[in-house]
A and B are shown apart, each in its own frame.
Chain A
Amino acid sequence: MKLLLLFIASIIVNNFILSNFLGICPFIGVSKRLDSAVPMGLAVTFVMTMTAVITWIINHLILIKLNMPYLQYVAFILVIATLVQFVEMFLKKFVPGLYRAFGIYLPLITTNCAILGLALLEALKNYNFMESIVFGVGSGLGYTLSMAIMAGIREQMELSNIPKPFQGPAITLITAGILALAFMGFSGMISL
């Protein structure tokens, strides 16, 4: 039951983009079309899940055992960079279709602060192994959800008459703000 709560909470209540404001740059940059926003979200979900598992192992089996948790930042960045490289090679060899679908998004994720944020939050909140996996999957799906909502809205906005001063980035940021306000309505639903 606690895992289910954590899952739902990480999708909507503690949504990475709209409540934690992490990973904003792909949220603005790649959300122009639905058919590129959703693959980006799925790639993030994939990398988040892998990161959650591996950083938990590194954190608990090495850093905490050796009493050096202050190395978390450096170690996590190292893990994420290596992981993304490895996943890219693996997909290229065994799942070329998926590799082509992810395209440029996979290497882009390396520098996405949402991934590092996930690893650090997971260490901060002291999740156990199962909770870390659920937190990773849930956060990734929450990311995909907000990317998809944003892309859907922006596709509609392209066809509407927006006043000149608001066109382009301005209306996008306003939309993101209103979306974040809407997601604030979920906060307090589940407290973790």
Chain B
Amino acid sequence: MSILYSALLMGGTGLLFSIFLVIANKTFHVEIDPRISQIEETLPGVNCGGCGYASCASYAEAIVKKGAKLNQCVVADKDTLDALGTIMGTKVVKGEKRIAVVMCRGDRESAKFPGIYRGIKDCAAAIYSGDVAKRCKYGCIGLGSCVSSCPFDAIKISAHGIPVVSLDKCTGCGNCVEACPRGLIELHPVSQKIHVYCKSHDPGAIYKTVCTNACIGCGLCVKAAEADGKSDALKTADNLVIVNYDNYQLKPEYIEKCPTGAINIEQNIIIK
């Protein structure tokens, strides 16, 4: 008899609870645009933040509710963008792919180290603890804060102690740009292959004492560009040559005269 009672009691309670849940589900139903979940499923779902929103879900919401642009996802390939276009009923044009470029060539062979740093394996920590990890006060410390910030496993420290970016894996989300305490990583379109791989404002004498790959601001590349009639492509400022990225017009000829190799073509990038 008690078996029957307990079965009845539990069955009844279960039924009661499920009816309660059904009613609650109906009363508390929230109207959500079905396109939001469709877009969320289409997006890569890595939550890298490259689009400027905190997660893929909030980007999907922004597309539908606030009319955010569809081509902001840096990870999406052409198929994904086409699928997004079908959901929203428009056509999506993808901008040129941008990748992270590490603006330092101060590897173990060229840069000088005052000693061996054995502290916390984090670039910012190394700077706060006396900034003794590397003699150059502008260059890459090489402890890999950018590596741990990358959600795509696209950046790693090479055997020479400098981060290298994989052209295939990098999506240009920009997490490493924020992770680098020295601000050495920049996002640039893939077609722009020539950069000045140095951020040091120290005078030319550092070539011998700090780093043999430093830009010493000699201006030979600027002169080569001027001779070619592209006087606004490069300019010297405070012992450093600065590239005009608003009007990018560098050619491989300009880098030939560089005595240190600071202005160079496709450094720190693995092309496979």
Contacts and interface: CB of A to CB of B under 8 A. Distances in A.
B14 A78 contact: yes
B129 to A, nearest CB: 12
A4 interface: no
Contacts of B120: 159-160
B133 to A, nearest CB: 15
Interface in B1-56: 2, 5-6, 9-10, 13-14, 17, 20-21, 24-25, 28-30
B125 interface: yes
A111 interface: no
A128 to B, nearest CB: 23
A90 B28 contact: yes
The secondary-structure label for the interface of chain A is helix
Given A92-B28, A93-B28, A159-B125, A85 B21 contact: yes
Contacts, number: 45
A189 interface: no
A159 B129 CA distance: 14
Interface stretch (A67-75, A140-148, A172-180): A67-75
B121 A159 contact: yes
B122 interface: yes
A-B pairs with the 7 shortest C-beta distances?
Answer: A93-B28, A82-B17, A89-B28, A159-B120, A89-B24, A71-B6, A86-B24
Given A68-B5, A90-B28, A159-B125, 18 more contacts: A62-B13, A68-B9, A71-B6, A71-B9, A75-B10, A82-B21, A85-B21, A86-B20, A86-B21, A86-B24, A90-B24, A92-B30, A93-B28, A93-B29, A94-B28, A96-B30, A159-B120, A159-B122
